[in-house]
Chain A
């Protein structure tokens, strides 16, 4: 594995985040790394050299497949795992996690919402218990004051009237209602950072949008700095300001949500975009016999089917094992995030071939 020290190459420091337009920097990760020891001397580099910034009132999306390390990033930021490299800063100060008191102080500012509302709520406790506890712990409220706060929290996530929900157990709620309780529980600590790990992917398609709308509403009202982790790049287009694409533990591309999803530069992002089901994609690559058009991947470099079951490469660029553009250099040297424009970067040695239009535009545009 490259970067034995875990820090990895320099990561596009000269590229600014569009999320910074929304508000000041709240949380920053610099060259974050996490190795897991698997035993027998084997080490899994789950996260390598990840740098990102979360800004007040802005949504940054972390997009990638399962196993790409995106949840590990969230757990590192939440303080549930200790990084093996790099550092995390919150409100300008380095994050200190030694001892219960420091950990709790961190938790009251940085909250995590999990994917599965079935297993993240305790089945033997009521909604009231789930919300009352963080209100007491993090806000120090008691009695009537705490009860009022709990009712207000339920109103924030639109579970009204609160009286109908306070005494309910998780199994008495629908998936959407359960996830609302998870949001309310996260808000109970009055965090400045909300890390949402696939918050809607377990929910039905028809209510996902409503839940994303609710999250967006909460983001705006409480000016939360939000990290939205998803495998659904289309939802990131609609929901996020900036999108970071992860593959094999590294960020391979970052940029403004609309620009990145419409004109992806990295071959992996291009593959992700081409693979998303999209009915507006006329002449789909599926329905081979009945499709109206021919191939439909619209100018991406990676139309070809990838071999099944190929994981990230152990050396060089993690995507080199699957990348149709990979050459010798890609298999030996891991590319750093290279500046594509003032707000975009991609970790690819072959950007001149993968995204010639984007490069030419940014260089000609005098950025």
Chain B
């Protein structure tokens, strides 16, 4: 391999609004290697979808790419391609053929008046030059691949369950044998049992077909199980990148630590859950330095001066594990005065006597 299949460097996107620029993505560096599952985790509005769609040039005004580069190196393409400089015809070849997307809401992404077969045929004919008969055979084998009975070929989206629709979306994404599949919250709308089925199937297909996955979600617990590497995004910037193991066992950034303390665990002893107080910053008007400072329990005045570049947590032993926080390390003790499990200790705000029954 000559390098990462997708190399995003110092990538920035703003949304031009009358009230000023909203800095949706700022100076992001992220690499994806062939066959890798990279997880991108962040709250809504953190810029994770803007980053992924921006890197494929799928954004339109008022979104504006203001800087950086995105290099794609596929097995089928002659050499590295600079995605940000491609013309319309080249982009058309790149999209879906090389990079396909599974959208969050399958009900909205599927055409309600086309049946399953015609949806997938549409994708195939738009991107591949094969005969009608070959295309029909391909649709059948794609449905086999994602475990939809062929009897459902003539079914319409509204006749399928949420899980089935998401499987159709995955079949469509795989129709052109892409190198990278971007999955934008593909299972968020589904029940846990169906979610697990679909994730297991995605992993199985990835092993079999060898594509890479950029998996976008707000659920870190899912990524810890699914992803090889995880990038944590906040207010348009990456705060920490590392393997799933590193993020779970030696998280460095206070935000990552907060996320890890945010979901109740089903197995094992009951842990003290802390969560993250406060809400994300206004991207119109980002304060200097670390955007997480107002919610951070470790914050110091020096945090307003840092440049938010990613530096290795332990350069010698784990060069790939990087964090934007220069102060907190995995062995830094938790700051004092943090609330205990909210169920037990929440300060009582002023109560009007007539409300206290």
Contact = CB atoms under 8 A, between A and B. Distances in A.
Interface of A: 65-66, 148-149, 152-153, 155-156, 158, 160, 174-177, 187, 190, 204-210, 212-214, 216-217, 221-223, 231-235, 237-239, 258, 261-262, 271-281, 284-290, 298, 305-306, 308-309, 311
Interface of B: 37, 43-44, 147-148, 160-164, 167, 191-197, 199-200, 203-204, 207, 218-222, 224-226, 228, 248, 258-259, 261-268, 270, 273-277, 279-280, 341-343, 346, 348-352, 354-357
A276 B164 contact: no
20 contacts: A65-B194, A149-B354, A155-B349, A156-B351, A204-B218, A205-B218, A206-B276, A209-B342, A217-B346, A221-B356, A237-B264, A238-B273, A262-B267, A277-B225, A278-B265, A280-B265, A281-B225, A285-B196, A286-B226, A287-B37
B349 A158 contact: yes
- Most A CB within 10 A of own CB, among B148, B226, B342: B342
B147 A308 contact: yes
Given A205-B43, A287-B37, 4 more contacts: A206-B258, A209-B262, A209-B263, A275-B195
Nearest to B342: A213
Contacts of A205: 43, 218-221, 259, 262-263
- Most B CB within 10 A of own CB, among A209, A262, A280, A289: A209
Given A149-B352, A286-B199, A287-B203, A206 B265 contact: no
A277 B146 CA distance: 21
Contact of A235 (B200, B264, B277): B264
B352 A148 contact: yes
A239 B204 CA distance: 35
Given A175-B44, A308-B163, A308-B197, A209 B191 contact: no
Contacts of A190: 355, 357
A274 B248 CA distance: 20
Chain B contact residues: helix, strand, loop or mixed = loop
A238 B268 CA distance: 12
A277 B222 contact: yes
Contact of A152 (B342, B348, B351): B351
Contact of B276 (A148, A207, A284): A207
B342 A212 contact: yes
B203 A288 contact: yes
Contacts of B273: 209, 238
Nearest to B222: A277
B161 A156 contact: no
B262 A208 contact: yes
Nearest to A153: B355
A175 B252 CA distance: 28
B192 A305 contact: no
Contacts of A308: 147-148, 161, 163-164, 167, 194, 197
A262 to B, nearest CB: 8
Nearest to B147: A308
B349 A309 contact: no
B346 A231 contact: no
Contacts of A286: 196, 199-200, 203, 225-226
A234 B221 CA distance: 12
Nearest to B161: A309
